[in-house]
Structures are given as structure tokens and as C-alpha cells.
Amino acid sequence: MTAVLLFGATGDLSRRMLLPSLYGLSVDGLLGAEVRIVGTARSQIDDAGFRALAAEALAPHIANGLGDEGRAAAFLKQLSYVPLDATDMSGYRRLHQAACGVDNCGAEQISIFLSTAPSLFKPTIEGLAAAGLAGPNVRIGLEKPLGTDLASSAEINDAVAAAFSEAQIFRIDHYLGKETVQNLLAMRFANILFEPLWRADAISHVQITVAETVGLEGRVDFYDGAGALRDMVQNHMLQLLALVAMEPPARSDAESVRDEKVKVLQSLRPIDGRTAPSHSVIGQYVAGAVGGQPVKGYADELGRASGTETFVALKAHIDNWRWKGVPFYLRTGKRLVTRKSEILIDFKPVPHSIFGEHVQGMQANKLLISLQPNENISLKLMAKVPGLDQGGIRLREVSLDIDQRNAFAEARRRIAYEQLLLSLIEGRQTLFVRRDEVEAQWAFIDGIRRGWAENAMEPRPYTAGGWGPSAAIALIERDNASWND
């Protein structure tokens, strides 16, 4: 018998992702009818109230053809709810009972998913431990933000480590649950084609873009205290960078993969007071239009002026043999022109053109890995333009495309959290972030923030609905490259 405990069960993440994901697993027979799903949060609702909230969360998925009303009704029966003030120890005993029934939980597998405010991490862990919910049969998933810098993240990690061993701790970065992100591993390591070229000899630079059209989405306080660097780069983008740049692990198990990722993260060249102005650009959106709709500027949405960045672009380097001299350009922002996440590998030109120096159309190869919303891998190759070519051969770039959605049209598209919750329940850690990775990520980010402070760098305004401040374009064009817009 297994139990799943959801902290923050009435919150946005739970409604949009966690409850639909658990339901998805249940529809596929991956979550038995005997599994108890216990929600907990501060709201004073009862089991019926929680089931009603869950029913509302599942409705759009059922309308989309996931299971049916009968299936959903059976799933809802598995849910129960315990109101809990995280700092009141007595609530944890009720939680223990809801998870374990009247028996002792000894043999039961308990998976806890913690998505609460960082200030509640410590008391929650203490409460769980005091109530006997931290034994070897318990696994704990931790949702970000895990701190706001290296020191506060270490504090949270220490508090968790006081009750749980690293093998029980599942730090979530939901990008790792995305199908297309996992596909990076398949692309790199299940094909022989790329690996020999995957290095400084053949690659001129790498770009990682995570562009969003949304603005604050009501997360005013959280976002203004975080900013784009800590909200997106510290976690998702550095994980993408690590997956692109890591050495081939010997196996796909959690330790082999994470050992390689952490080496990359620890090899990031610090961006500091000396290099922050030339290697980073920050921006904040002002009023504009996105998708034809006028939108407010950030300060207006917030209701006051703020120095928080909603856009960041970086030029990063990985100081190791493989990536010597290869810049990794990263950019992410809110209220940009389009929503897209992608990785571009820009190869070097051929060492010598047999067609002469001035042949028309010659360009270097590119590999474009689109993660969302398109799920596409596109290899840009040179081809001959058909014709008699009296004036010499003419070349043009053509794409070799794999559209994942077409190639796997029969497969249901999963929510990233389905994969993550299933891995948590089954105890597989490959898609979770180890403590040393998180800390290497924070060390890099803290250095950048110190660099901004030392140079009194302020976000540059950019119009909502564009590609961010023009300085971000200059950042890459100075090196004779350009963003893939």
C-alpha cells in the first residue's frame, strides 16, 4: 500500500499540474486504486471540499478525452484532506493517520510532495520527522524555490538532510520532466552522429532561449523577489545547459547522469564584477502588445517601480577541454514576442570550401532543438540549388526535420509532473537535481548578482511583445553571431 502526500494541495500548482498528473497516472493504471492521496494545506476544507476542488481541476482534462467521469469518480474517492498549519505540530499526527490508516506506516511507501513557501520548509520537515513521517519508507519531493541564494539554499538542504538521506530527497526541476528535455539524452547518446562533433572543434556557439509571452500572472510578490535570473536561469536553463554540455555518462542511472551534469555546472566560468557588464544584459518590460493585445508594463502590473529584471541574457563559458572557447548564450524573459524554448547548436564552417571563397549561399550547419511549444529537431544542411549553374554552383540551407508529434502521433502527451510524480513514487532519481548541482547553480548565480550590484546595473526597459532590450542583441552580435528569433 502506498500513500501520496501533497503539501500545498489547494494551490495553483496542485490544481494545474499535480492533481491532473496523478489522475493521468491513475487512468493509465500506474497508480493503484488502493493508493491514498492525502492533500494538505492551510485552507480549512474537508474531504468533500478537496474532492470538489480536484473535480474542477480534472474537468478540462476529461473534456480533452483523458479517462471519463466514471474513472474520475473512482480517482476522487482516493483523495482525502487534512488542514494543517505547518508550524503546529499536532496537525502532523492527523496527517500520519490519514496517510497510514490506523496501522503503523512501517511497511508502506509514502511519497511526499512539498510545494510550500520556503519559510515553511524547516518547520514542515521537523513536523514530518516528529510524526514519524521521515522513515526509510518515505521519499520527499521538493518544489522550487529552494532558497534565494547559495546560503539560504544550503540552509534548506541542511534542514531536509537532518531528517532525510540524499537518496530520499527528490529536488524538482519540472523542465527535467518534459519529454523533449529527456529526448536530449536520447538524441545525444542513442545516435553516433552527433557525439564526434559535439565539441569546440566543430561547434562555434550554443544558444538556449526560453521565451515567454506571459507577464506576472498574479505571482507579484514571489516574482518581484526573484527576477528572471533566479526564477528561470538558476534552475531550468542551467539544467538544459548541463544536459547539452555534459560528457557521456556510462549509464543512465541517477548517479551517473548527475555526476556528469555537476561537473559542467562546476566548470562554469564565474561572471563577476569585472565581466558582468560585458557578459550579461538585464531588462524589464514596459507597456506594449503581445499577440495583438495591449499589455501593461511590469511596474504597472506590480503597482510600483521595481529594480527586478524580467529579462536576462548571458554569455557563459564552460572551462573544460570540450568547450574551450565556445560561448553559451542564454536568454529568457517575460512578455516577449512569442513563447518558445529551444537550443541552437551552431556549427563551425567547413575548414575549406572546394566551391571557392565566394560561392553563393554557403552557411555553417545548425542543429535546432525546439523544446516547446514545437517539439522538433531540425538539422540545417547545405544543398545544391537545382539548375545548370553556369556561373558556379549555388547552395542553399535545407532542413532535415523530425517533428516529434508527427513521429509519435499515437502517444499521449504527458504533463511533465506525470513523469516526475511517477519517478518519485517509484524511487527513480535521474530526473531530480542533486544537492551539489543546486549548489553549483547557486554559486554561479550569486556571482552574477554580485557583479550586477558592484556595477549598479539596472534593468533596461524593453517593449512588451519584442525580443528584449537591444543590448541583448548586441551581446551576441559583437561576436558575429545572432539570436535565432
Q: Does 231 participate in binding ligand BG6 (rule CB under 6 A)? A: yes
Counting Cα atoms < 13 Å in the Cβ hemisphere of 465 gives 11
Pairing of strands 366-372, 376-384: antiparallel
Cβ-proximal residue to ligand BG6, closest one: 231
Residues 432 and 147: their CA atoms lie apart, in Å, by: 17
346 binds ligand BG6 (CB under 6 A): no
323-326 long-range contacts, CB within 8 A, separation 24+: 323/199, 323/200, 323/245, 323/267, 324/200, 325/200, 326/200, 326/203, 326/204, 326/205, 326/206
Examine residue 145 and say whether the peptide bond preceding it is cis (omega within 30 degrees of 0): yes
**Least separation in angstroms between CB 303 and ligand BG6:** 19
**Short-list 120, 192, 189, 184, CA closest to 377:** 184
174 annotated active-site:
no
**List 236, 317, 352, 358, catalytic entry:** 236
Q: In whole angstroms, how close is the CB of 212 to ligand BG6 at the nearest point? A: 6
Window 162-201: contact mask with ligand BG6 (x via CB under 6 A):
----------------------------------------
Query: What single string gives the DSSP state of each residue in 415-469?
Result: PHHHHHHHHHHHT--TTSB-HHHHHHHHHHHHHHHHHHHHTT--PEEEETTBSS-
Q: How far is the CB of 417 from ligand BG6 (least distance, A)?
A: 10
Residue whose CB is less far from ligand BG6, 86 or 211: 211
Nearest CB to ligand BG6, comparing residues 168 and 306: 306
Q: Min. distance of Cβ 214 from ligand BG6 in angstroms?
A: 6
**In terms of CB distance, is 212 or 375 closer to ligand BG6?**
212
Of 81 and 417, which has the nearer Cβ to ligand BG6? 417
Nearer to ligand BG6, 124 or 341 (CB): 341
Torsion of CA 378, 380, 381, 382, to 10 degrees: 150
Query: Which residue, 215 or 466, has its beta carbon nearer to ligand BG6?
Result: 215
Q: Which is closer to ligand BG6, CB of 173 or CB of 446?
A: 173
- Which DSSP letter does residue 414 get? P
For 279, counting Cβ atoms within 10 Å of its Cβ (0-12 exposed, 13-18 middle, 19+ buried), the class is buried
Tell which one of 126, 212, 301, 375 touches ligand BG6 (CB under 6 A).
212
Residue 248, all three cell numbers: 557521456
SS3 470: helix
Task: Tell me how far, at minimum, the Cβ of 75 lies from ligand BG6, in Å.
Answer: 24
- Nearest distance in Å: CB 144, ligand BG6: 6
Identify the CA nearest to 116 among candidates 142, 152, 139, 134: 142
Taking 3-state DSSP, the helix, strand and coil percentages for the chain, each rounded to the nearest 5, stand at 40, 20, 40
What are phi and psi for residue 347, nearest 5 degrees? -85, 165
With binding defined as CB under 6 A, does residue 143 bind ligand BG6? no
All three cell numbers of 18, joined, read 499535480
Minimum gap (Å) between residue 135 Cβ and ligand BG6 = 31
- Asked if 247 and 322 count as a contact pair (C-beta separation under 8 A), the reply is yes
What are the catalytic residues? 236
By CB under 6 A, name the binding residues for ligand BG6: 212, 231
